[in-house]
Structures are given as structure tokens and as C-alpha cells.
A and B are shown apart, each in its own frame.
Chain A
């Protein structure tokens, strides 16, 4: 996750309180989605950005995960995400982001 976005996530979490923030990811690979998820929960694993050593523990989901997908109007979801859902390795993304969330989020709903 690039440094600018890390800073924005950090600012938003400070402004609204981490309990009021949900991060939705759209990364196309399991590994990069997992790294982004880790960055907003346990802190930047590369220790290069503003979230290095900052464990925000935010709620984080990938847009293809059912918890998020079910909240959409199916027609809108299909139009916006349907195509990508077909070409992505959805299972790998779900498992990677889900694992990170289980380990590091501070807000278990």
C-alpha cells in the first residue's frame, strides 16, 4: 500500500475513530490484498510508511468477500464487479484477507 494512501487511512482513522472505519480493498491478487489488509490492521509490514508500527486494527474486507458483496444491490455489484470476479482468484483472496482479519482486527463483529 503506497505511502500516501497509508497516510490517508491513518488520518481518517484518527478523525472518525478506528471503530467507525471499514476498509474495502479491490486489489487483484491475493498477496497484495493480504499486504494491504495487514497494513491497515497490524501495521505496514514493509516498515516504510506512516503505518509502520501502527496497529490500527481496522475492519477490512475485499470487495469479493460475501460479507461485503451481500450488502450490494446485486445489479450494481454485477455491473461494477461481476467481470473482475470472474477473472480473479476469488478463493485465494478470500482466504488471505480473511486470515489477516481474523488475526489482527480489533473489532470482531
Chain B
């Protein structure tokens, strides 16, 4: 019989709610909580040999340590597949499920399945790393989610070929597979267009990501007195990239002191961005982060002052959820520092 290790949080582990969210990873032989439903859904083809329970806050605050402990716990069981959650719309739980799945896949090369509601922040962060079954937004969806997760888990454990996200019920992972369609592209496109014009339902072959809209702030009252900060997703960092910001899918942003810096030169600054030809940015980083021009405007009295620090990250392939998190953190510091306006530059 195939072996499964299951990961759940303190709530589903029946240890407690928010007041127990700081518990360290615990190992239980056999099933706990939703594992009962999962085990039934395996119909004797697989068994849950162990359940790992970890507090959501503990995981969020000690991700590295918790991941290491959890990997060590999983290792000795050598499972055929690893299942986490489902987490529904619980943000920290979803993020933990995704992070553990990613680590298990990468470190132990064991297939992984989890389940989340489409708006769970864990989806954007980990949909490329794990099969995430689409669930309802609360535990009411347990009954629907479990059989889908079980089916996917068995398939992965057996090494059977995986169908498309629509067929299997998981969230698209951004993987494209070639196939021979019955009809040529032009015909399919025109058919789609006709349906669209007639207001009928049609299925796109290339889903575009949906972005939210940000309402603009009121204009700056007096720019000649305003303290202006520079923030970029174009990856401009001091030479050598001291914070090791990733060239794609950035996991962090950097804060850099430009007190007394009047010009970014080839010797002092460069870009960490991996999504565009860096030649011109490396030759003169002011092209992406216009410190030189702002210093001129500062001298001419056209702006109040340039903020002492600039912030930089890499926008290349970075998850929207990460970008939101960086944006909120940067904005908080800028407000605390009395910055009046920000110039955002990309690549």
C-alpha cells in the first residue's frame, strides 16, 4: 500500500485556535482530523502513515527552522506522496502548506498536493511549486475538496500522467503542453470571436492574469517643498548586490542609503534584474533610477528634497502577493520618514 504523510495546522489538528497558533511542529502516527476523510477517500489504495501538525504563527515566524524540522519528520517515512491542508481561505495556513510542499518537492523529490481557495495568498506564491486543488473559501468545502485531493495524490504516487487543470481540478501551474488540436488556430479564434460578439460563453486558450486597480492619490500640493523618494522594481542595487536580491521571483527588497550620492556610475551601481538586457542599466543605473536628475531638481529648488534612502526589488516574475507585501512594508517606512511623494520606476 502507498504511504502518505499529511500536514495540517493546529486548528485542524484539534489542538486549538489562534491561542495555539504558536505550537512547534508535532508528529503523530496515523491520521488526525481531516486525515480521516482523506484516508477514506484513498479507498484502501494508500494509507496516512503520519500527520504533522504545526501552528500557523509559528511557521510564519520561523519558516526556515520549521521547514527543516518538518522535512526531518517526513524523511523517515519515505512517503510516496505528501499532502498538505486543505487550507481553504486561511492565509497563513495556505502559505505554510505551499512552503512545506515546495520544500518537500525540492529537498526530498516527493510529489505534493495541497488545496486552497483561489484568493488564498498561498496560491500566487506556490502554484508553480505544487498541485493546488481549488476549494471553497471555508471548511464547509471539505467534503468536496478531499476526494479531489485524494484522486490527485494517488495519481502522483503511482506516477500516472497528469491531466489539464480543468480535467483534474487543480489551479493552473503555468505549464504549457503541446497537443494537436482538431481545428486550426484561425478557425478556433473566429469561433471564439463569434461567441464573444453574441454574448455566449467561450473558453480562452490563453488566460491573461487579472490585476487589481489602484486609485491614484490626490496630487502633491507643493512639489517645491515635497520630500521625494525613489522606489524601483528595476533591480538597481549597489555594485555586488549586497542583499542578494534574486534576478527573478524576488523574495525581498533592499533599502539603500544615497546620502551624498549625486550620480549612479558603472563602478558603484548595477541591476540585479534578470528580465531585460542589463547593458544600459549597468553602464548608467540613473537610466532606471534617476538619482542624477533628482539631484539637479533638488539643487534648482524644483523639488523639496530627495529622500535619503531608495528602495529596490526585482519585478521579473515576482508574485503579485509578494509585490503587495513589499509595497506595504516600503510605504509604511516612507510614511514614517515623512516622505511626501514617491517616484516609481520599472525597467
Report which A residues bind B (CB closer than 8 A).
3, 31, 35, 45-50, 52-53
Contact stretch, chosen from B136-144, B172-180, B227-235, B284-292: B136-144
Q: Which residues of A contact B11 (CB under 8 A)?
A: 48
Contact of A45 among B14, B17, B140 (CB under 8 A): B140
CA distance A31 to B37 in the complex (A): 20
B140 engages A46 (CB within 8 Å): yes
Of all chain A residues, which has the CB nearest B36? A53
Q: Report whether over half of chain A's contact residues are helix, strand or loop; otherwise say mixed.
A: loop
User: Which residues, 73 to 90 on B, are CB-close (under 8 Å) to A?
Assistant: none
A46 engages B139 (CB within 8 Å): yes
Q: Which residues of A contact B139 (CB under 8 A)?
A: 46-48
Number of interface residues of B (CB under 8 A): 14
Q: Which residues of B contact A35 (CB under 8 A)?
A: 140
Of all chain A residues, which has the CB nearest B37? A47
Per-position 1/0 for B30-49, Cβ under 8 A of A:
00011111000000000000
A47 engages B36 (CB within 8 Å): yes
Least CB distance from A100 to B in Å reads 13
B36 engages A45 (CB within 8 Å): no
Pairs A-B, 4 closest by C-beta atoms: A46-B139, A47-B34, A53-B36, A47-B33
Least CB distance from A102 to B in Å reads 18
Known contacts A52-B33, A53-B36; decide if A46 and B142 are in contact (CB<8 Å).
yes
- B326 close to chain A: CB less than 8 A: no
- B12 close to chain A: CB less than 8 A: yes
CA distance A45 to B17 in the complex (A): 18
A52 engages B143 (CB within 8 Å): no
Contact of B142 among A31, A45, A50 (CB under 8 A): A45
A49 engages B36 (CB within 8 Å): no
A-B contact pairs, 16 of them (CB 8 A): A31-B140, A45-B140, A45-B142, A46-B34, A46-B138, A47-B12, A47-B34, A47-B36, A47-B142, A48-B11, A48-B12, A48-B14, A48-B33, A49-B14, A52-B14, A53-B36
